[in-house]
Chain A
Amino acid sequence: MEGYLYYPGCTLKTKASDYEESAMAVMEALGKPLVEMDDWYCCGAVQSLTTDDLMHQLAPIRTMCCAQEQGEKELVTLCDMCYNVLKQANERVRENPDDLETMNEFQDEDPDYLAEVEIYHLFQILQDMKDDIKKKIVNPLSSLRVTPYYGCMLLRPEKAAIDDTEDPSVMEELLELTGAEVIDNPKRTECCGSYHTVNRSDIVEKRVKEIVGRAVEDGADVIVLSCPLCQFNLEYHQRTTEFEVPVLYLTELLALAFGISVGMKKHKIDPIKKFKEKDILE
């Protein structure tokens, strides 16, 4: 395959379409297009952690089986939660071949999953393309102060970590390529409150106040991340604060620096206003 086989998951097709559009455009510009899988299933969003619950491992395993049947050994995700669920499910069946056998027997009309597909998050692919990225920058973001936010699912648990669990740097390295000033945020690996946004929004509001508050204190113009749930939480719950900090997908910033007009349509806090203020957009 010329580019990479890509697993979208549910949210990338709807609420987080800005992320999908911008990631597709960036990878196309880099000559490694993302090619959506012929068939896929919702991953289940959170990893099922009990030893006896194989039923909730089936969806990620079936998706990885679809990649296998397309003849691919590498599968790329954009959403942090999808990445984490697929990665943990894959590692689990590698460590417990009996579980895999049980699931393969249950799925008797599908081919057996051989656990040979590798799961990657887009940042791992971009990390290996820094020279190519540098060459594509036509609109340096030198007037912009950005702060990365990793959240949980790229870094924990250890077997799913794409970087150092306590001191990651992949986002900082990618952001520096855009010419933006990267600001350290000590809250960057703390949980945003995750699914509590559904029925305990008070918990998420407190987290957002701390995380965004720190970014504001340190003078960040925008927060950058890749998880659609963190993106929703950090933007939506700012309505209970005095803050107004746009929260962007890293690929939206890359596209901007590449001079590609894409994404930035579904934000609760308009990033375009900020970019005009900073003379990045006309």
Chain B
Amino acid sequence: MKVKRDIEFLEKVEELSGQSVNACIRCGTCSAGCPFVEEMDVLPERIFKKIVLGDKEGILEKNTMWICAACFTCSVRCPRDIDIAKIMEAVRQIMLREDIDMVDIENIDNIRELPQLAIVGCFRKETG
């Protein structure tokens, strides 16, 4: 399958994250230590390859960046010193700025039980 190469997407990710996605050598250290990797459609290092290829559409339909909770485990372990959490945030932000909203407030049935920092944190990461 041919991928439409969206170089602007790659450039935007690098601009927003301040990181070089091309520095990734696909060693998989990020995936090996990620506590959420089982929930992800695509492993983090495969997402980087998609970013390098400019495959924005291919990333849009995956859940990887929404599963990442910015715990920074991969960021402190990356042998190439890539702050991976910042790349995931950049991808989230590109989506959120296109009016994609991941939180359905009506369906949070235990909202009164939740501590404030959970709600604020979730809205910060998943709404535009």
Give A contacts to B, CB under 8 Å: 9-11, 14-16, 42, 44-53, 56, 79, 81-82, 152, 155-158, 165-166, 190-191, 193-200, 203, 206-207, 228-229, 232, 236
Q: How large is the interface on B (under 10, 10 to 19, 20 to 34, 35 or more residues)?
A: 35 or more
Option from A11, A48, A194, A206 in Cβ contact (under 8 Å) with B116? A11
Q: Indicate the member of A15, A157, A236 with the most B CB atoms within 10 Å.
A: A157
A207's partner among B35, B90, B116 (CB-CB below 8 A) is B35
Chain A residues near B18 (CB, 8 Å)? Answer: 51
Question: In the complex, are the beta carbons of B103 and A196 less than 8 A apart?
Answer: no
Indicate if the CB atoms of A229 and B85 lie closer than 8 Å: no
How distant is the Cα of A10 from the Cα of B120 in the complex, in angstroms? 10
> B94-128 toward A: CB 8 Å interface, digit per residue (1/0)?
00000000111001100001111111111011100
Contact A156 B121 (CB under 8 A): no
Take A198-B103, A199-B103 as given contacts and tell me if A232 and B86 are in contact as well, using a CB distance cutoff of 8 Å.
no
Asked, given contacts A51-B15, A53-B93, whether A79 binds B117 with beta carbons under 8 Å apart, the answer is yes
Measured in the bound complex, the distance between the Cα atoms of B104 and A79 in whole Å is 27
**Interface assignment of B75: CB less than 8 Å from any CB of chain A:** yes
Complex alpha-carbon distance, A95 and B22, angstroms:
24
Chain B at the A interface: mostly helix, strand, loop or mixed?
helix
A50 touches B17 (CB 8 A): yes
- Chain B residues contacting A155 (CB-CB under 8 Å) are 76
Write out the residue numbers on chain B whose beta carbons fall within 8 Å of the beta carbon of A15.
115-116
Distance in angstroms between the alpha carbons of A197 and B108 in the assembled complex = 10
Whether B1 sits at the interface, judged by CB under 8 Å, is no
Supposing A81-B121, A195-B122, A197-B118 touch, asked if A203 and B73 sit within 8 A by C-beta, the answer is no
Q: Residues of A contacting B35 with CB < 8 Å? A: 190-191, 207
CA distance A47 to B70 in the complex (A): 9
Query: How far, in whole Å, are A229 and B116 apart by their CA atoms in the complex?
Result: 9
Contact A156 B73 (CB under 8 A): yes
Query: Contacts A228-B117, A229-B115: A49 and B70 contacting too (C-beta < 8 A)?
Result: yes
Chain A min CB distance to B111 (Å): 8
Q: Select A46's contact among B67, B108, B116, B124, beta carbons within 8 Å.
A: B124
Please pick, from A11, A56, A157, the residue contacting B117 in the complex, using a CB distance under 8 A. Answer: A11
- The answer on a CB contact under 8 Å between A42 and B76 is no
Q: Are B85 and A232 in contact (CB under 8 A)?
A: no
| Residues on A with beta carbons closer than 8 Å to the beta carbon of B67 | 200, 203
Alpha-carbon distance between A42 and B76 when the two chains are bound, in angstroms: 27
Closest Cβ of chain A to B125, distance in Å, is 6
| Nearest opposing residue in chain A for B86, CB measure | A49
Near A by CB (< 8 A), chain B positions 29-76 give 35-36, 38-39, 67, 69-73, 75-76
Closest to B70 in A: A46
Chain A positions within 8 Å of B93 at CB level? 50, 53
